[in-house]
Structure 1
């Protein structure tokens, strides 16, 4: 069985049936393409541990460590599936998944988010009020809810009712999301100026006026950063900021996990290191 065939079979058997997100499917296909690019689309049975070690050394200098970790985990599962189907592949347990690398996640303080929104408001004046109102609504919605950018662009005009709405997250499970009054006002101000009949909540106001894409939202952030002192602020930065704010206010981790749509508390625990700074301040205030 060819490498590409093995991955397609695994995607059909596991990813799609398990209701995994499109991003998960895309990630697995990219891993398959990387292996095929490195080895050629050879029989997966012909690959040995040393072959995978060579590939690992190659991608380690090009990919982030956690991306490599996820790729090895995926390859192990593909090999395990192939073995269960009777193919004479190498023992998947020989491929050891590296420990997840701990890293510091960038986040903004509430006042910094307000400054970021102010930059967006000033920047868009030359582009017309529609873009300005749309971008303000996008930023306020992300900051008030912590939703993923993919969840944001999937929203329709009629999605939000009584300051709450439902999104379908990575696990394909629906979750209820809440927003504050300021965000509701920002969205209503934007929609009040819309004259189109597009059902999408956020659209591009150039060209075909189609539903705004995740790439379109990221370009909005890039443009704001290019015209300000902010560096590398992304939609995910705002999501991290939302989680950190909740943690700072003493919200229990399990509730934060539910609000973010995390499948595991382990994912949410990466935010707990942010309390270290506050603990240091508390300690210093007591000891000095």
Structure 2
């Protein structure tokens, strides 16, 4: 069996030489004790016998025992430091972690609104006044096109081609793209142009489509504040930002059968791997619906 004395020597080294906190050392101890227990169960009784395959099998063991991705990453990091210590003080000749890659952290799926939540949000602005009409038009455009908030605030009158159902925008890297815009969003843009924009403009001139109370273009921060305000009024509990409408747009059109390459073009992604996150979201949402409504057998 593996001798625990070496483990205690290492933890003492971390405390005295490295000055690590009690909690950090406690975490190291826990990770290494689990590892040593695994080695003992599998009749590995000497650190000199460790190699890449042993570590990969241990990582598989942790995964099969439902350890979280972050716990596995932490454990691999602990083993990497421990292996370097063993080499440094001549307990072993070869670093058994040298060929082992650290697992990537789990990718956090961005928040997405359901279609019902989108409807709630769109219905909140009071469209009996100029600001409510403007805000409704903003949200309709964001959800209908997936524009980034930076693209939205720089949208100009000359970028509108509503007669053919298109708008154009200048995205990241100054890449221009043409985006279809649906009838509903087009309708609200026209209502805004006919009933709000000229009032907000106050006999001034501005190339920008969406204006603030002073007749100037809106800022990204102002869009963020409006989203937070209306999300609260809609009673939506999710953490919603302007980018959430972009995520929701992409997810919903994928769920309705759009090709991934088309979504990539609509969003202005240079790399399709960036767009693929939305397939994960769709699958995740599908699993949630299945778990909620499928009867247990």
Normalised to the residue count of structure 1, the TM-score between the two structures is 0.59
Q: Aligned residue for 1:34? A: none
1:119 partnered with 2:103: no
1:247 partnered with 2:254: yes
Q: Aligned residue for 1:219? A: 225
1:63-96 CA-to-partner distances (Å, cap 9, x unmatched) read xx9xxxxxxxxxxxxxxxxxxxxxxxxxxxxxx9
> Whole-Å Cα distance in 1 between the matches of residues 232 and 222 of structure 2?
15
1:26-58 CA-to-partner distances (Å, cap 9, x unmatched) read xxxxxxxxxxxxxxxxxxxxxxxxxxxxxxxxx
> Whole-Å Cα distance in 1 between the matches of residues 285 and 194 of structure 2?
43
> Whole-Å Cα distance in 1 between the matches of residues 287 and 259 of structure 2?
17
Mapping for residues 100-139 of structure 1, pairs under 5 Å:
101-121=106-126, 129-139=129-139
Q: From the superposition, tell whether residues 282 and 100 of structure 1 become closer, same or farther in structure 2 (CA, over 3 Å).
A: closer
Cα displacement (A) at 1:100: 5.6
Cα displacement (A) at 1:266: 1.1
Confirm or deny: 8 A CA contact 2:227 2:241 kept in the other structure.
Answer: yes
Structure 2: give runs of 5+ residues left out of the alignment: 1-69, 71-100
Mapping for residues 68-147 of structure 1, pairs under 5 Å:
99=104, 101-121=106-126, 129-147=129-147
> Whole-Å Cα distance in 2 between the matches of residues 281 and 103 of structure 1?
19
1:204 partnered with 2:212: yes
Moved over 4 A (4+): 279-288
What is the number of equivalent residue pairs in this alignment?
187
1:149 partnered with 2:161: no
> Whole-Å Cα distance in 2 between the matches of residues 144 and 158 of structure 1?
19
Cα displacement (A) at 1:277: 3.6
Structure 1: give runs of 5+ residues left out of the alignment: 1-64, 66-95
Higher Rg of the two aligned structures:
2
Q: Aligned residue for 1:263? A: 270
> Whole-Å Cα distance in 2 between the matches of residues 258 and 160 of structure 1?
18
> Whole-Å Cα distance in 2 between the matches of residues 100 and 251 of structure 1?
29
State the superposition RMSD in angstroms: 2.7
> Whole-Å Cα distance in 1 between the matches of residues 119 and 211 of structure 2?
23
SS at match of 1:212: coil
SS at match of 1:186: helix
Normalised to the residue count of structure 2, the TM-score between the two structures is 0.57
Cα displacement (A) at 1:229: 1.6
SS at match of 2:167: strand
Q: From the superposition, tell whether residues 280 and 168 of structure 1 become closer, same or farther in structure 2 (CA, over 3 Å).
A: same
1:236 partnered with 2:243: yes
Q: Aligned residue for 1:170? A: 172
Confirm or deny: 8 A CA contact 1:203 1:210 kept in the other structure.
Answer: yes
> Whole-Å Cα distance in 1 between the matches of residues 156 and 285 of structure 2?
39
